Amino acid sequence: MTRIYDDPAEFADDQLAGFLDLYADRVRGVHGGVVAHRGDEPQVAVVIGGGSGHYPAFCGTVGPGMAHGAVVGNIFTSPSAAQAYSVGRAADQGRGVIFSFGNYAGDVINFGIAAERLRADGIDARIVVVTDDIASAAEEERRRGIAGDFTVFKVMGAAAARGHDIDEVERLGRAANAATRTLGVAFSGCTMPGEDEPLFTVPDGHLGLGLGIHGEPGIRDVPMLPARELADLLVDDLLKAAPAGAPGRIGTILNGLGTTKYEELFLLWGHVARRLRDAGHEIVDPEVGELVTSLDMGGCSLTLMWLDDELDPLWRADAYTPAYRKASAPLAALRAPSGDELAGAEAVVTAPEAGEAARRLAGTVRDALAAVESTIREHENELGRIDAVAGDGDHGRGMLKGITAATARIADLGPEVGGGWLLQQAGQAWAERAGGTSGVLWGAALEAFGRHLGDTAESYPAGVVAAGVREFASTIEQLGGAQPGDKTLLDALLPFTDELERRVAAGEELAPAWSAAGQSATTGARDTAELRPRIGRARPLAEKSVGTPDAGATSMALIVTAVGRVLEGT
């Protein structure tokens, strides 16, 4: 829906005023439209136009290498002959004017009159009408002009920029039109400024094949297609309508009509490109984006211009307009990264060689992770119920996905791998599969723990393990950004870590110290019931959570307790 306007009746003039302000460094407003700034060498003036509502058609493609002026009519309405005449006069650089526009009755008449008036003033004026829409008529000369406007303007703009005379620019424009075919589909109509109802509609779940850009009748409505089939339909119908003796090089536009977005067009482009190449065509400088739109209409069109040796360089040539900019120099200065340069990114990183102590540690890590998995599996539903009080209830499920991925990953690793590496791999698997913030934090923390332990130590005394737990906790603090008392897993983890460090520093063995510290985790988790979360929850949910402990702190306490039992048993 069109939403931004003041007086709907003044929409076309008001938007043009904003455009002229924005691009005051390159265009100048004149009665009826805009003219581009000009170079020292006079050129044949290519003056394009039609109604508003089709941006970047038409004023968005005025500039070096494209058009020299654009006539700006009211929304979806031909400009008047007086407008076209005025812009033509202002754009003329003494080498004549070519008016070019899509084949609509009003435009044909008004530009025709304007050309007559220019000739009466002694200015050579020609007309090149664009007729690319294969859905609109069987006879080529009766077809409407849609996104093929762009290829024709592009060729003439490039030809004019090369200094060709008016006969030659006109001839090349006609050649471009004769070589261009477009087929479009609409998914939804568009709404004029100030109106609540769309100008036309497409039945829900259907696409209008060949529907015109102002809602003119198309070929037929068909049920909506998957992208691959839509691409096949567009390509196949266009190839059937190819000009006789068509060569294999094709300039291509996949054009969005307004509300069909870039990502959708890219996805469709993948299929279009494959289908064209499968048919033996070489795709030259494809353009995917919005070049000829219809306000907020949903849909797209595919334009093919069969290129010969004359049209090819004109299609490839540089241009610099408000909406369409193309330059060969910036790309020519670059090269693709070499395989060596990219190798680091995708190489499979192998486990470092592990010492004897690290291999013994690996056994403990495997046992501990197995115990964690079984504990989480046992408490999955309970954790879910706690989380559902003020969250989305997926904490148990997410933790189980994480630990399951972790144990599956280390099950693939052999007995030569050390415990530090196992923890790093477990952490990566956990983060990638568990999803959610807690999954990423658990994964990163395990990875940090494993990196701290490493696989080359002669032994893993209690102090090293406690320092590894501190790394685990610090990673979560730094990445998660929470503070103690924020009702997060830190409220179980930090009391545990502090107590473990204190006992180990006092000379206690790891296993009893861990189990005793585990009591602090359990107490800390239980006490979160009295807290309000300070991050990540809206106020009503925060209030609701009082009286229920934090799910992440609860699972943390369960896990350290389970690991404590493993350590006591080894």
Using CB under 8 A as the binding rule, the residues of this chain from 243 to 302 that contact a second copy are 258-271, 273, 286, 288-289, 293, 295-296, 298, 300
Q: Which residues of 70-105 are buried (b: 16+ CB within 10 A; e: fewer)?
A: bbbbbbbbbbbbebbbbbbbbbbbebbbbbbbbbbe
Nearest residue (CB) to a second copy, 204 versus 309: 204
CB nearer a second copy, residue 285 or residue 380: 285
Shortest CB 336 distance to a second copy, Å? 5
Please state the closest distance from residue 483 (CB atom) to a second copy, in A. 13
Could you tell me which stretch among 226-234, 487-495, 502-510, 546-554 binds a second copy (CB under 8 A)?
Answer: 226-234
Residue from 66, 238, 362, 440 touching a second copy (CB under 8 A): that is 440
Measuring CA to CA, which residue among 359, 399, 356, 331 is closest to residue 551? 399
- Residue 148 to residue 498: CA distance in whole angstroms: 71
Residue 534 found at the interface with a second copy (CB under 8 A): no
Nearest distance in Å: CB 547, a second copy: 25
Among 37-45, 378-386, 493-501, 514-522, which window interacts with a second copy (CB under 8 A)?
A: 37-45
Q: Which is nearer to a second copy, 228 or 360 (CB)?
A: 228
> How far is residue 171's CA from residue 177's CA, in Å, rounded to a whole number?
10
* Sign of the four-CA dihedral 80, 83, 86, 91: negative
Which CB atom, from 168 or from 285, has the smaller least distance to a second copy? 285
Interatomic CA distance for residues 129 and 108, integer angstroms: 8
Q: How would DSSP label each residue in 375-414?
A: HHHHHHHHHHHHHHTTS-S-HHHHHHHHHHHHHHHHHTS-
Q: Which of residues 116-155 bind a second copy (CB under 8 A)?
A: 116-117, 120-121
Q: Residue 30 Cβ, how far from a second copy at the closest point, in Å?
A: 5
Enumerate residues 450-469 that contact a second copy by CB under 8 A.
451
Residues 39-78 touching a second copy, rule: CB under 8 A, are: 39, 52-53, 55-56, 60, 63-64
Cβ distance to a second copy smaller for residue 403 or 567: 403
Is residue 394 involved in binding a second copy (CB under 8 A)? no
Q: Which residue has the tokens 């791998």?
A: 417
Mark whether 164 is an active-site residue: no
Question: 92 vs 373, which CB is nearer to a second copy?
Answer: 92
Q: Which of 242, 529, 536, 565 binds a second copy (CB under 8 A)?
A: 536
Applying CB under 8 A, among 90, 134, 311, 562 the residue interacting with a second copy is 90
Instruction: Report the nearest approach of a second copy to the CB of residue 378 (Å).
Output: 28
Please tell me whether residue 437 binds a second copy under the rule CB under 8 A.
yes
Nearest to a second copy of 1, 408 (CB atom): 1
**Of residues 319-348, which lie at the interface with a second copy (CB under 8 A)?**
320, 323, 325-327, 330-331, 333-337, 341-342, 344-346
Q: Does 309 bind a second copy (CB under 8 A)?
A: no
| Catalytic annotation, pick one of 214, 281, 379, 395 | 214
**Rounded (5°) CA angle 178-182-187:** 165
- State the Cα–Cα distance between residues 210 and 216, nearest whole angstrom: 9
CB 319 to a second copy: min, Å = 9
Q: Is 30 in the site for a second copy (CB under 8 A)?
A: yes
| CB atoms inside a 10 Å sphere around CB 234 | 25
C-alpha distances (whole Å) from 227 to each of 74, 233, 360 are 34, 10, 54
What's the token pair of residue 314? 């004109």
Q: Measured between alpha carbons, how far apart are the two ends of the chain, in Å? A: 68
Return the residues of window 177-216 that contact a second copy according to CB under 8 A. 187-188, 207
Three-state secondary structure of 415-467: CCCCHHHHHHHHHHHHHHHHCHHHHHHHHHHHHHHHHHHCCCCCCCCHHHHHH
- Per CB under 8 A, which of residues 462..501 are in contact with a second copy? 475, 478-481
Cα–Cα distance for residue pair 216/146, rounded to 1 Å: 12
Greatest C-alpha distance within the chain: 106
Nearest to 518 by CA among 562, 561, 568, 559: 561
Between β-strands 97-102 and 45-52, what pairing exists: parallel, antiparallel or unpaired? Answer: parallel
Q: Determine, following the binding rule CB under 8 A, whether residue 3 of this chain makes contact with a second copy.
A: yes
Least distance between a second copy and beta carbon 187 (Å) = 5
Residue 112 or 485 having the CB closest to a second copy: 112
If the CB atoms of residues 151 and 188 are measured against a second copy, the closer one turns out to be 188
* Span interacting with a second copy, options 107-115, 307-315, 453-461, 561-569, rule CB under 8 A: 107-115
Q: If binding means CB under 8 A, how many residues of this protein chain bind a second copy?
A: 120
Nearest to 73 by CA among 111, 20, 125, 115: 111
Q: Is 222 in the site for a second copy (CB under 8 A)?
A: no
CB environment 335-362: b (16+ within 10 A), e (fewer): eeeeeeeeeeeeeeeebeebbebbeebb
Catalytic residue numbers read 214
